[in-house]
Amino acid sequence: MNSPLKIYLWCLPLLLVINQAFYGFCFKAHCIGAALPSVVIMSGVLTAVIYFSDTRNSGSDYIGSSEDDEGKPR
């Protein structure tokens, strides 16, 4: 399972590059400064979605698990 910080640190630059691709790949300081507020929010939302979907599916309670509650194979 990944930590939220690790997920966030991967999402932020990835979304920043994708965002700037729609604006002619402008990586000047004023372009990055204008993009950061929305990219930070989008990265936070995406991090929450990835983290909570990962934690919800990482337990042995979901359908298709081949382990019991103690982690032993059934």
- Residue 64: the pLDDT is 55
Q: What is the pLDDT of residue 17?
A: 96
Query: Is-above-0.85 flag for pTM?
Result: no
For the chain, give every domain's residue range: 4-55
* pLDDT score for 30: 96
For residue range 19-52, list pLDDT tens digits in order: 999 999 999 999 999 999 999 999 999 999 999 9
Query: What distance in Å separates the CA atoms of residue 14 and residue 31, rounded to the nearest whole number?
Result: 16
Given a cut of 80, whether residue 1 has pLDDT beyond it is no
User: Residues 35, 46: contact at Cβ < 8 Å?
Assistant: no
**How far apart (Å, rounded) are the C-alpha atoms in residues 20 and 69?**
46
Mean pLDDT for all residues in the chain:
85
Q: What was the pLDDT predicted at 56? A: 77
